[in-house]
Amino acid sequence: MSAAMPAGRLRARLAELARITRAPSPVVSVYLNTLWADEHQRHRVRVFLTDEIRKAREAGGSPALAADLDWIAQQGEALIAQAQHADAHGVVLFACGALGLREALPVRVAVENLFVIAEAPYLRRLAELLEDTPSTLVVFVDGESARLIQLRPDGVGPEVTLASEVPGHHRQGGWQLIAQSRYQRHIQVHRAQHFDAVAGAVTDLADEHGVERIVLAGESRAVAVFQKHLEGRVARLVAGTVAGARPEQWSAFVERARALLGLKEGDADVAAVDAALTEAAKGGRAAAGLEAVIDAAARGAVHRLYLLKTFRAPGRRCGGCGALQPGAGPACRICGAATKDVELGEALVQRVLASAGSVETVAIHAELGRAGGVAALLRYPV
């Protein structure tokens, strides 16, 4: 699909893709970096895709897979030529003819090139990308105007400018005719109305577009006053504030917001994992360790899955009951049916997303590493 997709719909689509566990024919998943500094980088992407498609064709397969590879080749060439999604930093492609699946999802962050053919879409990398790029609204505000800029998983949205009719300097020069105290009361009323109107626009955008974070920009006093006009549920989305002035380019606000979000997200990840591990140790609404998390995921109880970025574990999925189990073995230890080898990190991500959970990957966390590299916050104790 070529149209931009709001973050909420993109996450819902990710959950739908996660419900594809055993497709009738192989699913091709391709992640392509489309942010190039020079022609050499563009050429490397073309060579990567050409080589992977060639190897897939040489390995043989059904006519359906051959058609899927044809579509991937066509889409890849259009992306490399920038005939499609020219502003995207990366694009994720999924193809499965038996399911009628032909999908291109642009993202606003660079991705590592990846080519996977399996019985289900490869989603771990996409889940990571979405968590790294929460839908954000950057709001510059002063006493007379506002600028709203959306940062979406698929790129930067259009800027919206709002302006009020706040009285400024007296145009007739009769400044001395207005008592200072009366003027101050008058302009403060207008500014309150302006801040209320901007807050209403922010609330509407947050509701309609699934905004997950808000970054406020502007002079500190104006931002502090404006923040008091936000509803409680919207105010809780505010991740922080950055400096800003009205004449600045929108790109300056965006870069400061991204830097702030990067710092905030890192701190929040560590604190959230700490809390989950503490809750698991108390036997509450959390689980830590591979076996415990697999059991919680089987029950559909995982609200948020935490994985170390380096987490990989061999395992198997039962062809009968669908249970995930660590290690090797020909038969399911629950029902005795035959099993198929899987990588448990990807299998857990898929299972959690399919049950409307979310996934967070963590670069470094010593305690999580000691717990086996995996933990989860649960909807209810298990």
Give 297-353 pLDDT, tens digit per residue: 999 999 999 999 999 999 999 989 999 999 888 899 999 999 999 999 999 999 999
What percent of the chain is modeled with pLDDT above 90? 53
Going from the C-alpha of 78 to that of each of 260, 292, 334, the distances in angstroms are 34, 45, 48
* CB distance 216 to 141 below 8 Å: yes
Instruction: Kindly indicate the confidence band of residue 188, based on its pLDDT and cuts at 50, 70 and 90.
Output: low
Which domains, from first to last, does the chain contain?
7-131 (3.30.960), 136-248 (3.30.420.60), 269-378 (3.30.1330.30)
For residue 172, is pLDDT > 50?
no
- Residue whose token pair is 């024919």: 25
- Residue whose token pair is 């994720």: 92
Instruction: Kindly indicate the confidence band of residue 276, based on its pLDDT and cuts at 50, 70 and 90.
Output: very high
Q: Tokens representing 9? A: 């719909």
**Tell me, what's the pLDDT at 78?**
94
Q: Tokens representing 302? A: 């995982």
31 versus 264: the higher-pLDDT residue is 31
Helix, strand, coil tally for the chain in percent (to 5): 45, 25, 35
**Tell me, what's the pLDDT at 186?**
57
* CB distance 219 to 142 below 8 Å: yes
Residue from 31, 15, 34, 33 nearest 116 by CA: 31
Q: Residue 163 in 3-state DSSP?
A: strand
For residue 209, is pLDDT > 90?
no
**Tell me, what's the pLDDT at 107?**
82
Give the other-Cβ count within 10 Å of 263's Cβ.
12
Instruction: Kindly indicate the confidence band of residue 187, based on its pLDDT and cuts at 50, 70 and 90.
Output: low
117 versus 259: the higher-pLDDT residue is 117
One-letter amino acid at 257 equals: A
Mean pLDDT, residues 209-226: 89
* CB distance 375 to 287 below 8 Å: yes
Rounded to the nearest 5 degrees, what angle is found at the Cα of 117, between the Cα atoms of 113 and 120?
A: 110
Q: Label the pairing between strands 324-326 and 339-343.
A: unpaired
**Tell me, what's the pLDDT at 185?**
60
Q: Residue 6 in 3-state DSSP?
A: coil
For residues 1 and 72, what is the distance between their CA atoms, to the nearest angstrom? 13
For residue 138, is pLDDT > 70?
yes
Mean pLDDT, residues 144-157: 78
Mean pLDDT, residues 246-275: 82
Give the other-Cβ count within 10 Å of 289's Cβ.
16
Going from the C-alpha of 279 to that of each of 136, 290, 362, 375, 381, the distances in angstroms are 29, 16, 18, 10, 10
Q: Which DSSP symbol is given to 288? A: E
For residues 211 and 166, what is the distance between their CA atoms, to the nearest angstrom? 29
**Tell me, what's the pLDDT at 49?**
97
Give the other-Cβ count within 10 Å of 189's Cβ.
11
